[in-house]
Structure 1
Amino acid sequence: MSKLPDPFREGLARGWKATNGEAGLPQEIQCDVAIVGSGAGAGITAELLTKAGLDVVLIEEGPLKTSSDFNQKESEAYASLYQEGAGRRTMDGALTLLQGRCVGGTTVINWTSSFRTPASTLGYWQDKFGLKDFSEAAMAPWFDQAEKRLNVHKWDIPPNPNNELLRTGANKLGISAEVIPRNVKTCYNLGSCGMGCPTNAKQSMLVTTIPAALETGARLFHQTRAQRFEFDGNRVTGLECVGIRINGTRTSDQVMRVKARHYVVSGGAINSPALLKRSDAPDPHGLLGTRTFLHPVAFSNGVYKERVEGWSGAPQSIYSDHFVHNAPFDGPIGYKLEATPIHPGLMSVLMGGYGKALAERVENYPHTQTMLSLMRDGFHPESEGGTVLLNVDGMPLLNYVMSDYVLAGFKQSLLTMAEIQFAAGATKVLPLHEQGRYYTSWAEAKAAIEAFEMKAYYVGGGSAHIMGGCGMGGSEKLGVVRPDGVHWQIENLSVHDGSIFPTSIGANPQLSIYGVVNRMATQLAKRLSNKDVALA
């Protein structure tokens, strides 16, 4: 591939203001609004606030990597673009948690699937959390603006075999399967979305809202960790930040103090509640860090006679909501079906096993199709989520224990995926479970899966969707933040990221963050500047 333009580096050459905390930080800076983080919520907020003429500072603990750095190598991408080198896990080690840690956050390394918050989820929030203004009709304009700004549209290129086989098997069983909307423009269909887009086709915050904010005068501090807030009564009076190396260690004892009229926390679920906990933020009702939800993910591998090459092409382009739409909140857990791109490093985990078993599975690699199920967490009394805690060094931990209710969903979705894969023509299917092996018929797989012991460490699971911990509520007893994102007890502090969701979404959450934060940030811009601004 010939060398492509890198608009971010071109902007830096033109004078965009970006400081690497590893090289040193000033003792104090002042601004109108300080935003902690640079992912989905931070990017949308930064663009809208700078449009309103406000002086904005972005503070990101991850490194600044741009398309010139993205080379489709897993070994480099996971180490430099993900939280804890893609090794972040729940406290018990049972689930791997994939989150971005770079300028642009998770939007840089996600697989571009873009769904509006389901109407059923919004209705639940209205009923249970006092979010009366969060109806489907009320939210539609905010989603529409975000979709236009980020070029969200249904994938119009034929799906790769990894995705098409999901649709083939589902349709044969009478299960609906649809095309996924994706936030891409002039996509090369490389398939390396999870390693950073080398062509800038993915409309992440790295190539859209953050450049727009920097072009308007915003300042970016990267490799700069927000350490703690300082409070005086019901106001933040300052934010202490420190420079860090890419591995997360501090460079020195030097502290930068940020003084702003308003502060926005957009560090993502886990990091945002951890920052507030580290700062001893008011929490009169014991809600901070609680109700932290995942979409726990189960995986199933089908082997086909034809080559699948699941590493090539758009990672996710077909989905099925059949088992979400038909799952009442008071019944068994609902789950969404999608395909999983399988690059070599990721594949070695998702196929499970070791020694001869893993060698056999690698031999089948080019012919393997992998499906995933996203469990809809947080709508049932037995699905209470987890809690963000602080380690002795102040860094975050997620205490999330899979309940029998969630584990039952793992078993049911493994059955569903195996049946679909055999219907699509698989010669054998391997459910990701410690007791799993290759099965050569649906009847054999069904009997085996039904006999699986369902407990932590036996199911091979993880999640790239972490939500909650600073949930919205119509009253201070129902949430950490108000419906407009402002903290219930701190008048000049807002939270704008996935941590504000009272439950999981039941769909890939990036567009939910864009839409909800679009509304919150527009309201904040009006409050701070008395100006009306719009994303698109």
Structure 2
Amino acid sequence: MVGGTRDKKRGHPLLRWSTKQETFSHGFSQSDLQALSAICEAIMPPVPLLSLDLDMKLKVLRNDALLSFFKSSGSHVRPDEVAEVMATKAMPVTVTVVRIVLRLLTFRLGTLLLCGFVCLDKKNWSFLLLKFSDISLEKREKVLQKWNKQWYNPLARIAFMMIKAIFLFYYFTWTNENTENPAWDAIGYKVDIGENEDIERKQRPLEKGIIETAKEDEATIKQLMINKGLKLKEDKESNTFKIECDAVVIGSGCGGGVAAANLAKSGLKVIVVEKGNYFVPQDYSTLEGPSMFEMFEANGLLMTHDGRFRFMAGSTLGGGSVVNWAASLKTPDAIIEEWSVDRGIATFDREGYTAAMESVCKRICVTERVIREGFQNQILRKGCEKLGLDVTVVPRNSSEEHYCGSCSFGCKTGDKRGTDITWLVDAVDNNAVILTQCRAEKLIFAETESGRRKKRCLGVTTSISNTAINKIEINAKVTVVACGSLMTPGLLSSSGLKNHNIGRGLHIHPILMAWGYFPEKNSNFNGAAHEGEIMTSLHYVFEIDSTTPNITLETPALGPGTFAALIPWVSGKDTKERLAKYSRTSHIFVMVRDEGVGEVKGGIVKYKLTKADEENLTTGLRRALRILVAAGAEEVGTYRSDGQRLKCGGVKEEDLEKFLETVDAPAGVVSMSRRWTHSFTAHQMGCCRMGATEEEGAVDGYGESWEAEGLYVCDASVLPTALGVNPMVTIQSTAYCISKRLAALMMKNKKKQD
């Protein structure tokens, strides 16, 4: 049950793998699974010790777990389990491509079509053609290497990318009934599954205001609503509950959480609608696989149409503030100036907006000091210092002592101040009600004969997973949509709004990564890549005569599953060697303030970088590699599909320069290029941007829809342009301004009516 019984040492049942599965719904045939298993074996084949270099060979011989890892094979994983994860978690369009490719590989002619003459069996002329699973392991590996490069064979390349990513993610995140994975010892990964006893004693802070619909039935939901002061009517014919309130807030993240708090504190009756579940620190398992699937939008597998970027967006109570990396940077002055003066947007009036930022930073306890830096941040700082580059401490909504490396799966220490333990607590303390596992389906509108807009929003129709009740209709004087940039446009457009800016103008702060390997011998850096606070140091790359950075260098959180899914695959041996170095591989990601814009429509995200964005990514990537080399990396590289890398021992400046000249910003897997990349992005902005006129934005300068009175948007989708820094404080400050003004207007109207 959500919020119910859980094993003391392993977190909430939804945040750990279930017991061994015996029934599957993936829909793949046994022949398909045979082909899938053959691909997985080629991705992760047994690697003979004789093929390893001396350093790796010695490392393997000293470590029994590592020896077992190199001997292991991808065929040891049940293909049913990989297929189930793929079919139930990945984007349907990519699953369809995988189904087509696997089906073709079950036939000899299909194998010939996709693999070429490698499927010829020269030893047995009576069976000239072989299906994929009958081809030798060595030849299957060569087939995958071809698919990796063949732009003219897009089906095979897309299927390879998806199978490789899902299989390796599952391989390195799966756990047995004892929450163990044999590969973790081999790669030096340790997961903390113990309890913080101080947190264990704390009450769930939102308990008095929350209704977790997934664990209630019709009678208990009804009684809980009445107990929490909601006006409730039942429509027996349609099996619908109808409730009334002053304001309904759809979404509970950085925008919705702040809005709910300000509206509730002004004395209004507020209902918060959240499609995700409610978890508290003692629930977090820190297990990468189940946590990502449960707490991220689209299971963490939503991608741009070209496969270049994967979106990381929270989908739990508290939204992105629960799973982000705690960076709490204020909006740059130049951006405030651009939005308030150049674009004429009232919300960003400097005095009021600056005061809002101060209030936000105070509420979420932002600190700018750090007592102890983790492995990756030590390296970023040292490399910058060696090169004479400025390096800045990242302000964070956590304490100076915070040293949690798993905050991207919920902060188990309870130290990070997400909306679930700040703004939503304020809302509940002021009688707000939160409905979890409750999905907004359609906004309710009525035509207006007189007024500022053609329509008026009357609330929202929602659905819950409980089969006893079909719908909950929430009638409200004001509706605040805060579903995030990926989901808000869909709700508005599916409800009938037509403004041409809805779904357009998406900015994503595109990211590329560089890595450096720092073996423990002769290293001054302690710890492992997955340990310590995720983000405490950053470096800005400024353009000449500019005070606003377009390029930011920071460090990411990469669990072993995500690391394995993203690293370029050039051979089975290389993949195992890279993973054996996981714990001492440091990353720096390059984030740019993008000029390029995208579009969210019908669940598909289209996005294209401009030439300037490509150049900025390239500049940042080259700077990141220089920093890693300066910090003392033994080897550095990028995430380009050909496994681009450089051995650094004794490297001359001219050799480094030649290598850096080959570094670029590759296109996505669907591109017509031999070399491609697959990265991620965690910042989505725009899609319902503010504008001084209806032509310029989907909402006005105060967040209200140009098409419907009483409908406000209060999340990252209203930001007019890309921001250039981590956006949490900007989103919360924008929501603070919008909701404070809205609360004042509503209270003023309420007094008039009284």
Task: Name structure 1 gaps, 5 residues minimum.
Answer: 246-250, 391-395
User: Do the aligned partners of residues 7 and 480 (structure 1) sit closer, same or farther apart at CA in structure 2, a change above 3 Å counting?
Assistant: farther
Alpha-carbon distance in structure 2 between the residues aligned to 1:10 and 1:302: 41
**TM-score, normalised by the number of residues in structure 1:** 0.89
Q: Of residues 668, 673, 695 in structure 2, which corresponds to 1:456?
A: 668
Q: 1:21 touches 1:242 (CA, 8 Å); kept in 2?
A: no
Aligned counterpart, 2:460: 239
Question: Equivalences for 1:181-192 in 2 at 5 Å?
Answer: 181-185=395-399, 188-192=402-406
Indicate conservation of the 8 Å contact 1:324/1:336, yes or no. Answer: no
Partner of 2:11: none
In 2, Cα distance between equivalents of 1:214 and 1:133: 26
Q: Which residue in 2 is equivalent to 1:375?
A: 592
User: Between the two proteins, what is the percent identity of the paired residues?
Assistant: 25
Query: Highest CA radius of gyration, 1 or 2?
Result: 2
Question: What is the 5 A alignment of 1:39-50?
Answer: 39-50=253-264
Unaligned runs of 5+ in 2: 1-194, 222-239, 448-454, 670-675
- Select the residue among 319, 323, 345 that pairs with 2:538: 319
Q: Using the TM superposition, name which of 210-219 and 96-105 deviates more.
A: 210-219
2: CA distance between counterparts of 1:208 and 1:7? 19
**Residue 270 in structure 1 maps to residue 486 in structure 2:** yes
Q: Structure 1 residues 170 and 186 mapped into 2: Cα distance closer, same or farther (>3 Å)?
A: closer
> Superposition pairs for residues 137-536 of structure 1, below 5 Å?
137-185=351-399, 188-233=402-447, 234-244=455-465, 251=467, 254-283=470-499, 286-305=500-519, 306=523, 308-323=527-542, 334-353=550-569, 355-378=572-595, 383=596, 385-390=597-602, 396-440=603-647, 441=651, 443-452=654-663, 454-457=666-669, 458-530=676-748
Per-residue CA deviations over 1:187-225 (Å, capped at 9, x if unaligned) read 541211101011211100111111221122111111111
> Offset at 1:132?
5.5
The 1:12–1:158 alpha-carbon spacing in structure 2 relative to 1, beyond 3 Å, is closer
Deviation of the 1:177 alpha carbon: 0.8
* TM-aligned CA distance change 1:157 to 1:452, over 3 Å: closer
3-state SS of the aligned residue for 1:295?
Answer: coil
Which residue number in structure 2 is paired with residue 51 of structure 1? Answer: 265
CA shift, 1:473, in A, is: 1.2
Counterpart-to-counterpart distance in 2, 1:513 and 1:501: 8
Aligned to 1:393: none
**TM-score if structure 2 supplies the norm length?**
0.64
Distance in 2 (CA, whole Å) between partners of 1:93 and 1:253 is: 38
- The DSSP-based 3-state class of the residue aligned with 1:154 is coil
1:5 matched to 2:199: yes
Give CA-to-partner distance per residue, 1:407-448, whole Å, 9 cap, x none.
333322221111111111112101111133330246445434
* Contact persistence 1:480–1:487 (CA under 8 A): yes
Between structures 1 and 2, the one with greater helix share: 2
Question: Greater relative contact order: 1 or 2 (C-alpha under 8 angstroms, separation 6 or more)?
Answer: 1
Residues 338 and 235 (structure 1 numbering): CA distance in 2 closer, same or farther, change over 3 Å?
same
Q: Report how many aligned residue pairs link the two structures.
A: 511
Identify if the C-alpha distance between structure 1 residues 133 and 389 changes in structure 2 by more than 3 Å, giving closer, same or farther.
closer
Which position in structure 1 is the counterpart of 2:209? 16
Per-residue CA distance 1:132-153 (angstroms, 9 max, x = gap): 6625444211100101111011
CA contact 1:36–1:226 (8 Å) conserved in 2:
yes
2:279 to 65, 68, 77: 65
Aligned Cα root-mean-square deviation (Å): 2.4
Residues in 2 aligned to 1:102 and 1:75: alpha-carbon distance in whole angstroms: 15
